[in-house]
Amino acid sequence: MADPNRSRSTRPQRQRPTMDDVAAVAGVSRGTVSRVLNGGHNVSGPALEAVERAIRKTGYVVNQHARSLVTQRSDSVAFILSEPQDRLFEDPNFNNLLRGCTQVLAEHDITLLLTVAGTSEDRKRIGRWVTAGHVDGALVVSNHLGSPLLDELKGRGLPFVVCGRPLGHEREVSYVAADDRDGARQMVTYLRSRGHQKIGIIAGPLDTSGGVDRLAGYRDVVTDATPAMIEGGDYSQASGEAAMERLLRASPDLDAVFVCSDLMAVGAISYLQRAGRSVPGDIAIAGFDDSKVATTTSPSLTTIRQPFNRVSQEMVRLLLAHIAGEEHAAVILPTELIIRESA
């Protein structure tokens, strides 16, 4: 709710033309103008032309608030990034996702609004904003365990789709996820097949499904993993570097490490190189994501490709279905092993 003390009306109202103005200029009724605006069905040629001319002449633009008030729709959805803002700029995955969603939504003439909910203060404001009718639905990205955002949205009855398996909410909300666990299995199995004996892991945050599931996939294969072979990071490059250092200190004899994000893998490699270990000669490094850095870094990364395009497509599809009244659903998309130089 807005600060009511803010100056309210000093602004000189440049009166915007309304539908009635357009109707008057065109010499028709409001109803005809409305019909033209909404597709032009059942409007005669001359009337249609007159209205279009009048719109251009008056510079009329539909008042979205008035329209939404009656239609109960706003033709826009929110892309809620529930992460500290910096991550948005560091992690290329968000970029991929965002691009995909924007594109698919544009085909439906729906605008996407990006909101970054870094602090819990932000999350509260955005929860309010989102449920005030500004958007028809929401795409929620990177929801950490225990964030109250999902409950908030659910409570308000706003349709939404989560990216990644929403820990603890799997049965109640729609989500689209890559098959993280299987991806991890594929990778570790591949490392094994290349003769690596002692494979460590740098896992992601364990309050996200990606973190949990990739670790689980690793354990599926490396059934005898000891705590000394397991480290964790927050997906950032710096955290990968730090985790690699800790991991190597705990287990100096590792011959391969499965790093749960490409960015962390880059960090890990740069630590190893500084420490005088060659990759993949002394130790093999595998990433996860197949993001852009995977090809530009040296050595290029053997990694697991996440189908980001399909993820965003499915998220939008699910959200639109949801808005149209369908029940919630989950989609799991396959991941793919990409072999390059680092392992």
Partner DNA sequence: GCATACGTTGGGAGCGTTCACAGTTCGGAG
Partner DNA sequence: CTCCGAACTGTGAACGCTCCCAACGTATGC
What is the contact surface with DNA in residues (CB under 7 A)?
8-9, 16, 18-20, 27-32, 34-35, 37-38, 42-44, 46-47, 60, 62-63, 66-67, 69-71
Q: Give the separation between CA 278 and CA 102, rounded to whole angstroms.
A: 41
Nearer to a second copy, 99 or 334 (CB): 99
Q: Establish whether the linkage from the previous residue to 280 is cis, with ω within 30° of 0.
A: yes
C-alpha 26/C-alpha 32 separation (Å) is 10
Q: Is the four-CA dihedral 173, 177, 179, 181 of positive or negative sign?
A: negative
Shortest distance (Å) from residue 258 CB to DNA? 52
Of 18, 24, 29, 37, the one binding a second copy (CB under 8 A) is 37
Nearer to DNA, 60 or 218 (CB): 60
Does a cis peptide bond (omega within 30 degrees of 0) precede residue 299? yes
Q: Nearest approach, Cβ of 140 to DNA (angstroms)?
A: 25
In whole angstroms, what is the distance from residue 123 CA to residue 76 CA? 19
Tokens coding 284: 């093999």
Q: Is 246 in the site for a second copy (CB under 8 A)?
A: no
Question: Binding mask 56-85 vs a second copy (x if CB under 8 A, - otherwise)?
Answer: ---x-xxxxxx-xx-xxxxxx--------x
Task: Look at residues 263, 262, 197, 199 and name the one whose alpha carbon lies nearest to residue 231.
Answer: 199
With respect to a second copy, which residue has the nearer C-beta, 109 or 253? 109
Residue carrying the six token digits 């670790």: 215
Tell me which of a second copy, DNA, none is bound by residue 75, counting a contact when its beta carbon lies within the kind-specific cut-off of 5 to 8 angstroms. Answer: a second copy
Closest approach, Cβ 202 to a second copy, in A, equals 20
Q: Is 42 an interacting residue with respect to a second copy (CB under 8 A)?
A: no
